[in-house]
Amino acid sequence: MRDIAVKSITTMLLLLAVSTLNAGEYNEVLDIGDTAPQWKDLPGVDGKKHSLKDLKDKDVVVVVFTCNSCPYANDIEKRLDEFVKKHKDDKVALVAINVNKVEEDQFPAMKKRAKDKKYKYPYLYDETQQIAKDYGALFTPEFFVLDKKRKVVYMGSMDDSPDGKKIKKRHVEDAVTASLKGGNPKVEETIAIGCLIRFERKRRRRKSE
């Protein structure tokens, strides 16, 4: 699956390189400094409905698009737990969102994995897949750091190591630290490396239908 993901990423980057409609360097929808799209009443594995506005008391919100089935997403679970533990006393929230609709990524499977892995952060499901489209997210995992005004200050990978080995640059952590101090990170955008989000393709109707 990793080889397929790498080939898919290469293809996607080639498309991004020739596109003249890019908002960010690697994101076709959002750019650094844009207001983050809102999500509203998304179901969480905790049985509650979640909205971005619920986090109005947080100075920084980290959004990660993830899923159950991607090995890259699995690799960051421990790092997400460590991040939440490190910032438990800060006004920082981390929210994970899944939009995949294959069986292993649907809501019942999400609840089971969250329980088995003892997630310490909200894990939300958007079966419409619209929130991922609004953010321009293409991969799992893919991160967005939002400041107090809910402007995008960073988007891309969590760090410079997809599997968490030999990490030299912690992009999300650096962005959070800078934002808490009222500034901007030195690195604002990176390439998200992971599995392609499985967006549902609508079947075109034939003229005779």
In this prediction, residue 11 has a pLDDT band, given cuts at 50, 70 and 90, of very low
> What per-residue confidence (pLDDT) applies to 179?
97
Element spanning 154, H or E: strand 152-156
Q: Read off the pLDDT of each residue in 80-93 and give the average, rounded to a whole number.
A: 96
pLDDT beyond 80 at 29: yes
Rg for the chain, CA atoms, rounded: 17
* CA–CA gap between residue 28 and residue 109 (Å, rounded): 30
* CA–CA gap between residue 88 and residue 202 (Å, rounded): 41
Tell whether the torsion through CA atoms of 38, 67, 74 and 47 is positive or negative: positive
pLDDT in tens, 95-131: 999 999 999 999 999 999 999 999 999 999 999 999 9
Query: Whole-prediction pTM value?
Result: 0.87
CATH architecture of 2-196: 3-Layer(aba) Sandwich (3.40)
> What per-residue confidence (pLDDT) applies to 49?
98
Strand pairing partners for 96? 64, 123
* CA–CA gap between residue 162 and residue 194 (Å, rounded): 8
User: Which residues fall within 8 angstroms of residue 124, CB to CB, at 6 or more apart?
Assistant: 39, 42, 43, 44, 45, 50, 95, 96, 97, 98
* pLDDT over 90 percentage in the chain: 84
Q: Read off the pLDDT of each residue in 9-17 and give the average, rounded to a whole number.
A: 46
- Whether 84 and 120 have beta carbons less than 8 Å apart is answered as yes
pLDDT beyond 70 at 207: no
The tokens describing 67, both together, are 């899923």
Instruction: Tell me the CA distances in angstroms from 187 to 142, 151, 180, one per residue in order.
Output: 15, 15, 15
